Amino acid sequence: MSNVLAINAGSSSLKFQLIEMPEETVKAIGLVERIGLADSVFKIEVDGKKEKTVGDIPDHAVAVKKLLDALISTGVVASFDEIDAVGHRVVHGGEYFDDSVLITDDVIAKIVETSELAPLHNPANLTGIYAFQEILPNVPMVAVFDTAFHQTMPNTSYLYSLPKEYYDDFGIRKYGFHGTSHKYVSERAADLMGVPIEKLRLISCHIGNGASITAIEGGKSIDTSMGFTPLAGVTMGTRSGDLDPALIPYIMEKTGKTAEEVIDVFNKESGMLALSGFSSDLRDIQEQVDTNPRAELALDVFAERIHKYIGSYAAKMSGVDAIIFTAGVGENSSAVREKILHGLEFMGVYWDPKLNETRGDERFINYPHSPVKVLIIPTNEEVVIARDTLRLAK
Ligand SMILES: Nc1ncnc2c1ncn2[C@@H]1O[C@H](COP(=O)(O)OP(=O)(O)O)[C@@H](O)[C@H]1O
Ligand SMILES: CC(=O)OP(=O)(O)O
Ligand SMILES: [Mg+2]
């Protein structure tokens, strides 16, 4: 029996669970959200008792401190010595890792090396790793990579149409992200459908502040919308998603920005924030959708990009057995799901608007006769992190 702390730092959030393993009993669960925005929220739940505070949490370092203080103040642990192992989500592992790994100095060096490929994420993940190294120097820590699940993609999916030596010499290829989440929800979907995953063609839509769509055939990722970095694919909270690379020198010339500054705009000042003109957070945008045409436009573009990826992945797998929605937006926004699913009846997606409006845990929202099932599955990257941590930290 051991207490495993699972840490999941996302671009706008930090989620955590203290889990007693291998029983998977959740002793504390919480999150910091809207990191870097006004009115950040900190929530923790211990023994059914919930605490919530609202205040500015400017970055992930402050979020980690908040979490550490709360573990002690709520009494879930009397001291940090009661934590036996820590698992960290790490977003980019390059081609170095196709599985989770015990954290060593060499592993940290590789995470640092790949940081330039995931500037919104790997530095936040490292903040968590360093913080725990300091307070728990003798406790084993495990890194669980977003990229690992996608290492099964065939070269037809991961190679860009670029000179071959760019891949050979510099590792330039599609990596894909949110792998832990796509893996978790696809396995849950197979269970709920009562069909072995080896027999299923699934499209998993992880839609949070970052968003990615994955085609999963026989339990393996065969294609995904994010790329070399988490900037590619669909429109996101602050990220542009796919665009024409010729824009970069053009924008540099017009604005006098450097290439790095332009990429910074694509990562941090684009997406829903740019389209709406006021927020990256979907809740803020939904509030204004009936009164502000730019909020409506942002929502329409957001949903349309995901809709197109679903069509393209269904074509790629010659059909699809289920579409899965997960993460902050996918789990909670019926309006976004409705816009994404609208018009997919031609490929056998018959979804029930009433079920789409329900709230709850894991559920189907398709009509019973629908050839393609539609599921909402709350993701749980933390439990996968805890399982891998237990496996590797023993
Ligand atoms: N109840 C809700 N309704 C609509 N959107 C929501 C709701 N709860 C969270 N979201 C949205 O989910 C997004 C954050 O998703 P999350 O998966 O937590 O992000 P991250 O990428 O940081 O892990 C934000 O855009 C937020 O507005
Ligand atoms: C990879 C990625 O975009 O993660 P998140 O959605 O947590 O920002
Ligand atoms: Mg996330």
* C-alpha–C-alpha distance, residues 375 and 192, integer Å: 9
CATH code of residue 227: 3.30.420.40
381 lines ligand 1 (CB under 6 A): no
Helix, strand, coil percentages for the chain (3-state, nearest 5): 45, 20, 35
User: Is residue 163 situated within a structural domain?
Assistant: no
264 located within any domain: yes
Cα of 376 to ligand 2 centre, how many Å?
19
Neighbours of 205 (CB within 10 A): 27
Q: What gap in Å lies between CA 141 and CA 134, rounded to an integer? A: 12
What sign for the dihedral angle of Cα 118, 119, 125, 129? positive
The answer to whether 223 is a known catalytic residue is: no
Asked if 315 and 235 sit in the same domain, the reply is: yes
DSSP 343: T
Tell me which ligand sits closest to the C-alpha of residue 330.
1
- pLDDT, tens digit (0-9, with 9 covering 90-100), for 112-158: 999 988 988 999 999 999 988 988 899 999 999 999 999 999 999 99
**Number of domains comprising the chain:** 2
Q: At 319, give phi and psi (nearest 5°).
A: 130, 170
**3-state DSSP call for residue 19?**
strand
Residue 118 lies in a domain: yes
* Residues pairing with 223 in the sheet: 215
Q: Is 111 in the same domain as 215?
A: no
Q: Are residues 131 and 207 in the same domain?
A: no
Q: How far is the CA of 239 from the centre of ligand 1 (A)?
A: 15
Is 183 a member of any domain?
Answer: no
133 with 276, same domain: the answer is no
Chain center to CA of 147? 11
Whether residue 17 contacts residue 386, with contact meaning beta carbons closer than 8 Å, is answered with yes
- Say if residues 129 and 74 touch (Cβ distance below 8 Å): no
Residue-wise pLDDT tens for the chain (394 aa)?
A: 699 999 998 888 999 999 999 999 999 999 999 999 989 999 999 999 999 999 999 999 899 989 999 999 999 999 999 999 999 999 999 989 999 999 999 999 999 999 988 988 999 999 999 988 988 899 999 999 999 999 999 999 999 999 999 999 999 999 999 999 999 999 999 999 999 999 999 999 999 999 999 999 999 999 999 999 999 999 999 999 999 999 999 999 999 999 999 999 999 999 999 999 999 999 999 999 999 999 999 999 999 999 999 999 999 999 999 999 999 999 999 999 999 999 999 999 999 999 999 999 999 999 999 999 999 999 999 999 999 999 999 7
Nearest CA to ligand 1 atom 1: 332
Side chain identity at residue 230, one-letter code = P
Q: Whose CA is nearest to atom 18 of ligand 1?
A: 328
Catalytically annotated residue among 39, 56, 99, 146 = 146
Tell me, yes or no, whether 137 and 230 share the same domain.
no
Ion ligand 3: residues, CB within 5 A, are 10, 208
Which protein residues touch ligand 2 with a CB less than 6 Å away?
10-11, 91, 121, 146, 177-178, 208-210, 230
User: 174 in a domain, yes or no?
Assistant: no
Query: 36 and 138: one domain?
Result: yes
Same domain for 208 and 136: no
**Domain of residue 105, residue span:** 2-145
Residue written as tokens 């069509």? 311
Q: Are 311 and 323 in contact (CB under 8 A)?
A: no
Find the ligand nearest to 35 CA.
Answer: 1
